[in-house]
Amino acid sequence: MHRMQPRQPGSLPRPLPLQPGFGQAGQALTEFLLISLALIPLFLLIPMIGKYQDIGHAAQLASRYAAFDALLRNGSDNSWKPPATLAAELRQRFFGIPGAAVVTDAQEAAPIRNSWNDPYQHPLIASPAAIALSFGARRGETHADGYDHAPSGDTDLFMLASRAGLASTGLYRANVGVSLASLPAGLRSIEPFDRLKLRIERHASVLPGPWTAVSPEQTEMRTGGLAPLNTPMPNGLISAAIEVVDMASVRPPSFGKLGQWRDVVPGDRLRSGETR
């Protein structure tokens, strides 16, 4: 028989020892299940968010490809590439199956990358037609629509632009938009992705035209004649005067000639018989 000790005044009562089977009664499990209702759908959607980002990155690269193509084919040195041909190239190069061969004049039916699927293996890009190429802020269909900005002020700052044969028609903008298929409806775990009607669009802008030289020789031709001494005194007259005064012992300067700064590929980097 245990005799209870009297409690001293001001002291706290002793806690009772835990009996077998007595605890939190499943509280931790209940909290985990409640948190799982929010976390599990998030974990399931993380791969989808990564795929959306991957498609956005492909659209960004495609818009840069379309914009920089305008630097090579812009109407000043050669003809524009047809928009339909350019759009087919974008679908093949940036949205097609990795490792597939790049075909000239790619066709509309190029297959889309098969890794861009939803959790139920439905393609996020329903067809190649969902990938659209447009031009300018108004998303026109022709290259001329890409020049929807005011002409650039480069010629105002560079007073000799007209003498060098340079002009500015403004910035050129290329857009690539991708319309994505919605996820299957009726599943609470993927809401609101089942009704977003998501569209990813990226664009890139460049300044094409005469400001882009096709070769180092063209740059020399444009800028060489802008030297101040070349106009009042031609280079030939300066060279002849120096040779007479110095008895051909001093090599005359080459005013306006930029050949010594020309970008030339070293001979040991070329195949036999090639010159660049």
Which pLDDT band, with edges at 50, 70 and 90, does 141 fall under? Answer: very high
125 close to 141: Cβ distance less than 8 angstroms: no
Q: 27-72 and 83-95 are packed helices; what angle lies between their axes, rounded to 10 degrees?
A: 140
**Mean pLDDT of all residues in 111-133:** 87
**Mean pLDDT of all residues in 73-97:** 86
pLDDT at position 149: 61
Residue 249: pLDDT over 70: no
Closest to 70 measured CA to CA, from 164, 162, 149, 142: 142
The gap from C-alpha 137 to its chain's centroid, in whole angstroms, comes to 17
Residue scoring higher pLDDT (142 or 268): 142
What is the CB-side half-sphere exposure of residue 244 using CA atoms within 13 A? 6
Q: Rounded CA gap, 238 and 219, in Å? A: 23
Residue 108: pLDDT over 70: no
Residue 176: pLDDT over 80: yes
Q: In this predicted structure, which of 26-30, 157-161, 217-221, 248-252 has the lowest mean pLDDT?
A: 248-252
Q: Rounded CA gap, 251 and 109, in Å? A: 64
Question: Strands 131-135 and 199-206: what pairing?
Answer: unpaired
Residue showing tokens 């096709």 = 214
**Mean pLDDT of all residues in 28-41:** 78
**Mean pLDDT of all residues in 131-144:** 92
Q: Rounded CA gap, 154 and 152, in Å? A: 6
Q: What is the DSSP secondary structure assignment for residue 52, as one 8-state letter?
A: H
Q: What is the DSSP secondary structure assignment for residue 15, as one 8-state letter?
A: P
59 close to 179: Cβ distance less than 8 angstroms: no
pLDDT at position 53: 93
Closest to 84 measured CA to CA, from 16, 126, 131: 131
pLDDT at position 229: 52
Tell me the pLDDT of the chain averaged across its residues.
75
pLDDT at position 83: 93
Q: What are phi and psi of 202, to 5 degrees?
A: -130, 155
Distances from the Cα of 95 to the Cα of 57, 88, 130, angstroms: 10, 10, 11
Q: Rounded CA gap, 117 and 127, in Å? A: 13
pLDDT at position 142: 92
Residue 164: pLDDT over 80: no
pLDDT at position 186: 67
**Mean pLDDT of all residues in 158-180:** 80
Highest mean pLDDT among 4-13, 134-143, 234-243: 134-143
Longest CA pairwise span in the chain (Å)? 135
Which pLDDT band, with edges at 50, 70 and 90, does 74 fall under? Answer: confident
Residue 251: pLDDT over 80: no
Both tokens of 154, joined, read 């480069």
Distances from the Cα of 124 to the Cα of 119, 179, 248, angstroms: 10, 9, 75
Say whether 172 sits in a helix, a strand or coil. Answer: strand
**Mean pLDDT of all residues in 18-44:** 71
**Mean pLDDT of all residues in 44-70:** 91
pLDDT at position 49: 86
Residue 135: pLDDT over 80: yes
Q: Is the dihedral of CA 17, 21, 26, 29 positive or negative?
A: positive
pLDDT at position 18: 56
Residue scoring higher pLDDT (203 or 220): 203
